[in-house]
Structure 1
Amino acid sequence: MFAPQGPTVRELAVQALSSVERGYDLLAPKFDHTPFRTPEAVLTPVSRVLRRLGPFGSGLDLCCGTGAGMGVLRQVCRERVTGIDLSAGMLAEGRAGEPVPAGAPRTEWVRADARALPFGPVFDLAVSFGAFGHFLPRERPGLFAQVHSVLRPGGRFVFPIGAPPRPGSRGYWTLLAFDVAMRVRNALWRPSFVMYYRTFRLADVRAELMRTGFDVRLYALPELGRRADGSPRCRLVVATRTA
């Protein structure tokens, strides 16, 4: 699962016993050598859909980490792209990463909590990749309201969401075991480390986005495969802020 340059078991253990912010600060120098970084296999089909929907003026990468999603925004935004993350370490790695190509939109890296975004309605596009497990279900309405508040009317909030694994499958038991392990860890240890990916269900998320004031549409990402019943393994949620 990890490249040779990735974290050791001891380093992962220390990170897992830290807070979310501190854990990612510690992981940041080796984050891009772990399976936690969003792979190109996901970024490429998302870029394909966004190019069809765009172009956009300014874009926001919510919980940007070291900046995998920033490359997507640079492809479809003309003016500026902004990455926000709570981890100063992850932002530092993002700033020090690959140089921004000539002619690319202005790039900004901002340390902020996604639950209290320090912007007005200045973005035409917001994206997020793989971060929603760090928010408890009760926090999602506030999180979605924050994203809604920083989008211009007609702005879009976009993120991929995978289909849940079939009950009884290897993926199902793996996610269940991980979820149980995290809940036991948080019951016995402080500070807590929130990472519960089984709680981010499409039906719930879609209903919460609509209550927030988004019009929600789904786009299949066939490059990521299909399930036995023919349905896509991954969809792109495109939530548009209504005027």
Structure 2
Amino acid sequence: MFSPHGPSLRELTVQALSSVERGYDLLAPKFDDTPFRTPDAILEATAAALPGRFGRGLDVCCGTGAGLTVLEAVCDRPVTGVDFSAGMLARARADHPGATLVRADVRALPFAGEFDLAVTFGALGHFLPAERPAVFEGVHRALRPGGLFAFPVGAPPPVTSVAHWAALGFDLAMRVRNAVWRPPFVMYYRTTSLPALSVDLMAAGFSVRTAALGLPGRWQLVLARKDTFIRAG
């Protein structure tokens, strides 16, 4: 499951008993050697499926910078990554010296009308459903009119599959852990279905469509467009 350079079981245990921020600070030096990093196949398929080229790009919850490679491939102007883990940002800075990296809570993004494209990879499970509207509203605010917010979503595995029961077991384990241990570590795989995400995106002011990525697991790219007009009220 992990490469020889990945974290040990002890290191993963310490991370799991930490807060999300502290856990990722600890994991950052070895994060790219774990299965938690978004695979290159998904990154490459996302870059290929994005409609055209863009100006400035924003990677929301950029981690060690895997998504910055997508932005650098499709954006003609400087790109920005935002994350609340100083450790992850330090790793991203080493690999992407040309990017602007900002430490911030993405539930309160400090941007307004600055970007043409925003992306995120593998991060939405770190937000409870009640927290997602603030994230999506912040992304909407950060984009220029007509800007695009894009991210990949895999189809739920069939109930007869090992993947389904593994995800269910992981989510149940996390709920038990968070019920008996503080600080909480929020990471749930079953709270980010495409219908639920679409509802929250539309409530934030996006129009939503999807494009197939042609990858195993029936991955789709969510393409959420910020309206070009200003809503009354």
- Deviation of 1:143 after TM superposition, in Å, equals 1.0
Paired residue for 2:2? Answer: 2
Which of these residues, 209, 213, 218, is aligned with residue 221 of structure 1? 213
Q: 2:55 is paired with a residue of what secondary structure?
A: strand
1:240 matched to which residue of 2? 225
| Structure 1 position 176, deviation (Å) | 0.5
What is the match of residue 86 of structure 1?
A: 84
Displacement, 1:225? 2.6
**What is the CA-CA distance between 1:54 and the residue it aligns to?**
2.3
State whether structure 2 residue 66 is matched by structure 1 residue 74. Answer: no
Q: Distance in 2 between matches of 1:28 and 1:225?
A: 28
- 2:136 paired with 1:144: yes
Give runs of ≥4 in structure 1 deviating > 4 Å: none
1:2-49 per-position Cα deviation (integer Å, ceiling 9, x unaligned): 000000000000000000000000000000100111111100110101
Instruction: Give 3-state SS (helix, strand or coil) of 1:56's partner.
Output: coil
Cα offset, 1:168, TM superposition = 2.6
Q: Which amino acid aligns with 1:169?
A: S
| Mapping 1:106-185, distance limit 5 Å | 106-185=98-177
Distance between the aligned counterparts of 1:191 and 1:169, measured in 2? Answer: 32
CA distance in 2, matches of 1:242, 1:120: 15
Q: Give me the TM-score of the superposition, normalised by structure 2.
A: 0.96
Q: Which residue of 2 aligns with 1:56?
A: 54
Question: Where does structure 1 lack aligned partners over 5 or more consecutive residues?
Answer: 101-105, 227-232
Amino acid paired to 1:121 = G
- Deviations 1:57-110, CA, capped at 9 Å, x for gaps: 10000000000000110011111100000100000011112x65xxxxx51011
In structure 2, the residue corresponding to 1:238 is in which secondary structure?
Answer: strand
Distance (whole Å) between structure 1 residues aligned to residue 92 and residue 134 of structure 2: 26
How does 1:25-36 map onto structure 2 within 5 Å? 25-36=25-36
Kept in 1: contact 2:178–2:184 (CA 8 A): yes
Aligned to 2:178: 186
Which residue matches 1:206?
198
Which residue identity lines up with residue 204 of structure 2 in the other structure?
A: T
- Counterpart-to-counterpart distance in 2, 1:29 and 1:45: 26
Residue in 2 that maps onto 1:229: none
Q: Write the letter of the residue equivalent to 1:68.
A: A
Describe the SS at the equivalent of 1:236.
strand
Contact between 2:93 and 2:99, CA under 8 Å: does it hold in 1?
A: no
Distance across 2 between alignment mates of 1:39 and 1:167: 24
**Aligned partners of 2:99, 2:89: CA distance in 1, in Å?**
12
CA RMSD, 1 decimal: 1.0
Q: How many residues align?
A: 228
Q: Find the residue that maps to 1:191 and give its secondary structure.
A: coil
Aligned residue for 1:198, secondary structure, equals coil
CA contact (8 A) 2:206 2:227 kept: yes
Structure 2 residues without counterparts, runs of 5 or longer: 229-233
Q: CA deviation at 1:208?
A: 1.5
Give the Cα–Cα distance (whole angstroms) in 2 for the partners of residues 199 and 120 of structure 1: 28
